[in-house]
A and B are shown apart, each in its own frame.
Chain A
Amino acid sequence: MRLIIADDEGPARARLRGLVEEIGGVEVVADAGNGRQALLLCDELHPDVVLLDIRMPGMDGMEAARHMAGLEPAPAVIFTTAYSEHALAAFDAHAIDYLLKPVRKARLAQALAKAQRLTSVQLGAVARAAEGTVRHRTHISARHGGRIKLVEVTDVDYFQAGDKYVSVHYGGGELLIDEPLKALEEEFSQRFVRIHRGILAARDMITGLEKDSQGHYHVLLKDRHRLPVSRRHVSALRALVRAGRIGT
């Protein structure tokens, strides 16, 4: 079995590596210091198992696991955490396993054995069941040319629904994802506002609201882009502009 260890603390990584080596039969292919790094390494190295710390800076373990579920093949995720909090109680039904730090060698061996027994089909099912345990992602992930591509949510200007996919427009270009706009709106309601039946725009990207000669409304983005506004969203947008929540 090939394994990646993700933990933001050096001593914690060193200890896990030591334990794994003692258990044997497992090869540690990489170390990661945060969730984002772990995810990119998974995409590159296709490990069978990831030991994933839940609390990590940047992208945390929960979110990384959610993105990992979309990988092909998906690795078996074993969470490690120093202290179980309530979120974990809700989560434990879906996790392959989770270990409390300092991790016991016997428990680690047991978890690794369990991961080995699971087929990738089962893993996918577990990972899908785990979706929804993360409240707000910090990144949007999509497959692009066979590789995983990550975009920080803060870089996204707007989401636009197309025929089959939703396109993510961000500073560096455009990306297609397979998620309904409705779900995105719910997850990122703090950051994005619905301006059109098929468009979610970042609040802090909007600089103003304007009306053209035919009576159609548009929002102006910071990068001078103009996006159409549907009639039914005009009054809500006006209220936001007036409240100073957008258009600064």
Chain B
Amino acid sequence: MHLHDFVPASLHWSQRLGRAPGLVRTLRYLQCKTPNSKPGTGLCAPEPPRGSGSPKLSPISSDNPGRPPLQPGARSAGVKTPNGLPTMIVPNEHRPEGLYLPDFCNLRMVLAMVVAAELLAYVLSLSSAPGGAGRRWDGLIMTSLFVQWVALASIALLCACRRLMEGWRDTTTTTLYSFGLVLAVTVVVSEAAYWGGAYLGLFPMGEGGWHGGFLIRNLTISAIVTTVALRYFYVQFQLKKNIQAEAYARIQALQARVRPHFLFNSMNTIASLTRSDPALAEEVVEDLADLFRVNLADARTRVPLEEELALTRRYLHIEQLRLGARLTIEEHTSDAPRDAAIPMLTIQPLVENAVYHGIEPLPQGGVVRLEARRDGDGNIVITVANPQPPAEVIRRPGNRLALDNLRQRLGVHFGGRATLTVDDTTGRYVATLALPYEKAGS
């Protein structure tokens, strides 16, 4: 038995769905390596720190050429499932908040800092040195020397302290520590420059003598620049974290909405029908495509009730082929207004639940009854009923999750005006959804 025999199908299906354009874009952001690797987006953070649990995202081309794209986080984070397969990207939950600084031990980071320091030196020399080009040139050289010393020494110390910082939970400690460290370096380098300059007879900044003034001026510049830099790193870190969390949430939402078993069983049905009844196979492919299109669409969309019912019928069509005589469907929806606005994927998941928990575990199958009507208050009431398998049948997990997901989305759409209740006291499992009647498109 070779593991690779199973790898393709064992990868979580959402990894494949990751090829949806929106997700690709999101994940691309996560792959950005340096600020200049993706000009124009402004979203690429510097090299992420090397902290434990933080996915270090590397460009796919150089690092892992043999792998399909879109699993970079999984691979580089070193997260493996028990069977050795990569898992999905996990957000930086374990990375301490205090560790928002980039990894200064990284050579690329050092290079970026050297460039930044040089730019700073240039700005300083431009502003401080009036007079001829020659004098300005001299000033730039001296300022560069000074700034580079401060920058490189600070980086070296921050790199050395990284282990220590990994243990810190809060941002304040890290900030104060790094800030103090850079100022201390500034003092040491200033002193060295002052006394060295005096000894060699060339005063560093080209200005006359008060020792204290020199020190204060350097410390002020250093403090301002350090503050700006720390703020920049912090914002970058937050941004990156948010993007990761968003991508993760989106993947999770997808996982919650489509059951992998349904996907692969449907594929199997199609494979079977392709031989025996190609025309029917074609229909199933169309139904499946519609289901996935809706699943990949923005979950906030509202559609007319009619459309949601049509989607539910497509889903049931697939299940009917799969389960045959075990699945009996009763639909009574003609009394409900067809044009009622309803959030996408509200009825279909309820029906999917009914099939998954109520029909599939029963050898003899049963009836799924779908009803839609208007009640006395003018609300739309939808009920989905299915047989309740006996307690001895091992209950399948995941029902609560699907219902919670749906409740949450109903809350977003209707506030407290929509309700989803479940009654399992009668021997049948009945889910009832009540929504205010609002016309679609208004």
Chain A residues in the interface with B (C-beta under 8 A): 8-12, 14-15, 18, 33-34, 36, 55, 57-58, 82-84, 86, 89-90, 92, 95, 97, 100-103, 107, 136, 138, 152-154
Contact = CB atoms under 8 A, between A and B. Distances in A.
B363 A101 contact: no
B268 A57 contact: no
Interface stretch (B5-13, B230-238, B297-305): B5-13
B36 to A, nearest CB: 42
Given A15-B271, A154-B392, A101 B82 contact: no
A33 B363 contact: yes
Nearest to B359: A57
B392 A11 contact: no
Given A84-B9, A97-B1, A9 B394 contact: no
A138 B392 contact: yes
A102 B271 contact: yes
A153 B392 contact: yes
A194 B211 CA distance: 90
A101 B261 CA distance: 10
Interface of B is mostly: helix
B264 A101 contact: yes
A100 B9 contact: yes
- Indicate the member of B268, B275, B360, B394 with the most A CB atoms within 10 Å: B268
Interface in B348-397: 360-363, 390, 392-394
B268 A101 contact: yes
25 contacts: A8-B323, A8-B360, A9-B269, A9-B324, A11-B276, A11-B322, A12-B265, A15-B272, A55-B261, A58-B363, A82-B260, A82-B264, A82-B265, A83-B9, A84-B6, A89-B82, A90-B82, A97-B1, A100-B264, A101-B264, A101-B265, A102-B270, A102-B272, A107-B5, A138-B393
Contact of A11 (B6, B268, B393): B268
A11 B321 contact: yes
Interface residues of B, number: 35
Contacts of B394: 136
Interface string B271-293: 11101100000000000000000
A95 B1 CA distance: 9
B358 to A, nearest CB: 11
Contact of B268 (A36, A82, A154): A82
Given A100-B9, A136-B394, A15 B268 contact: yes
B142 interface: no
A14 B275 CA distance: 9
Nearest to B83: A89
Contacts of B9: 83-84, 100
B310 to A, nearest CB: 23
Nearest to A17: B272
A100 B269 CA distance: 13
A100 B394 CA distance: 23
Interface in B249-267: 260-261, 263-265, 267
Given A82-B265, A101-B265, A9 B6 contact: no
Given A10-B322, A82-B260, A152-B392, 5 more contacts: A11-B273, A12-B265, A14-B275, A14-B276, A15-B272
B309 to A, nearest CB: 25
Nearest to B270: A102
A86 B360 contact: no
B42 to A, nearest CB: 40
A103 B268 CA distance: 8
Contacts of B6: 84, 100
Contacts of B361: 57
B260 A83 contact: yes
A66 to B, nearest CB: 15
Pick the 3 closest A-B CB pairs, nearest first.
Answer: A15-B272, A82-B264, A11-B272
Contacts of A136: 394
Nearest to B82: A89
B229 to A, nearest CB: 45
B235 to A, nearest CB: 39
Contacts of B1: 92, 95, 97
A101 B260 CA distance: 12
Contact of A57 (B82, B264, B362, B392): B362
B63 to A, nearest CB: 27
A84 B10 contact: yes
Interface string B1-40: 1000110011000000000000000000000000000000
A154 B392 CA distance: 7
B83 A83 contact: no
Contacts of B323: 8-9
Nearest to A10: B324
Nearest to B269: A11
A102 B322 CA distance: 13
A138 to B, nearest CB: 7
Contacts of A86: 81-83
Nearest to A104: B5
A36 B261 CA distance: 22
A57 B363 contact: yes
A63 B176 CA distance: 62
Contacts of A18: 272, 275-276
A12 B272 CA distance: 6
Contacts of A33: 363
B147 to A, nearest CB: 55
- Indicate the member of B5, B324, B362, B363 with the most A CB atoms within 10 Å: B363
Contacts of B275: 14-15, 18
Contacts of B321: 11
Nearest to B3: A92
Nearest to B259: A83
A153 to B, nearest CB: 7
Contacts of B270: 102
